[in-house]
Structure 1
Amino acid sequence: MSNVVTRQAYIQSLPKYITLCERNYLRALKVLPEEVVGEKRKIVLANATYEVHIDDCAKYTTDISIKQTSTISDYLPELDIAVRLYHDAKVAEVVHHDFHQRIKPSYGYPNPSMHHKDEKYQLNAFLGDWLMACLESGRVPLNWDVNNGMV
């Protein structure tokens, strides 16, 4: 008798994904600068400096980019992700990662780009971990002008 092995396609758990995106939304709101296009906030986390930049604001969405501005190691690439916050649904999700094309919900495996089956979920889980690290142990340099510009 021959055994035929069939591969099942990857099916993403939508409730699990939506819960992750809702948590990312709440965390992202805490690290955002004022919601004005062009505003940015620097965050120091361990030996790296990151910049959260507001790229675009609309009635129901805000596009932000998170960029690493200092190198940790010559062997690690710098972080550069684009995140969209949907204010009506109260979710945030990664849209681009390191200038790649838009991320699909799932990929066949193996694939030429070597994406994981659940690439989109993993990038959003990474965003959640990064936001938690920022909230727990990140520092925001303050530029207080206590003299109101007078010396």
Structure 2
Amino acid sequence: MLCEHNYLRALKLLPSERKEGNTRQVQLASNQFVIKVDGCARYTMDISITQLTGMLKGFTPLFLTVRLYHDAKVAEIIHHDYYQRIKPSYGYPNPQMHQKDEKYQLNAFLYDWLVACVESGRAVLNWDINDGLV
């Protein structure tokens, strides 16, 4: 259920033209993020979410790689903060100190972030002056 909600909200934040390399910027309070389409396949799309501004001193900026599965209509985090692929679950204790349900926790964080962006965020519009819109 969580991944289905993530899929629906992620679709709302994607660039209008969903081609590889296209981006969309989202402002959430004093934080600015960019959502980039990293890859498109028939049934999947990989996007990255990168924090551009609003970082706290001593903390790395947010970076997530999310895979959208169009056939199943789900979205889940596959990488975070440039680390290796996230496993479905981890034995505990483990050398990297991952939580047993770390993948679920990351997808729950993605849910909260997407809800905040859809409900309170602002998308930066990239209007071309030459096409008569402005």
Structure 2 distance, partners of 1:21, 1:136, is 18
Q: Which segments of 5 or more consecutive residues in structure 2 lack a partner in the other structure?
A: none
* TM superposition score normalised by structure 1: 0.82
Structure 1 distance, partners of 2:117, 2:100, is 28
Structure 2 distance, partners of 1:42, 1:71, is 14
Equivalent position of 2:108 in the other structure: 125
What are the residue-to-residue correspondences of 1:1-151 with 2, within 5 Å?
Answer: 19-33=1-15, 34-146=17-129, 148=131
Between structure 1 and structure 2, the one with the greater Rg is 1
Deviation of 1:145 after TM superposition, in Å, equals: 3.6
Deviating above 2 A after TM superposition, structure 1's stretches of 4 or more consecutive aligned residues are 143-149
Deviation of 1:144 after TM superposition, in Å, equals: 2.6
Structure 2 distance, partners of 1:41, 1:141, is 7
Sequence identity, in percent? Answer: 63
Per-residue CA shift, 1:104-132, capped at 9, x if unaligned? 11111121111111000000000000000
User: Which amino acid is 2:103 matched to?
Assistant: K
* CA RMSD between the two structures: 1.4
Structure 2 distance, partners of 1:144, 1:102, is 36
Q: Which segments of 5 or more consecutive residues in structure 1 lack a partner in the other structure?
A: 1-18
Moved more, 64-73 or 88-97: 64-73
* TM superposition score normalised by structure 2: 0.92
Deviation of 1:46 after TM superposition, in Å, equals: 1.0
User: Which amino acid is 1:82 matched to?
Assistant: T
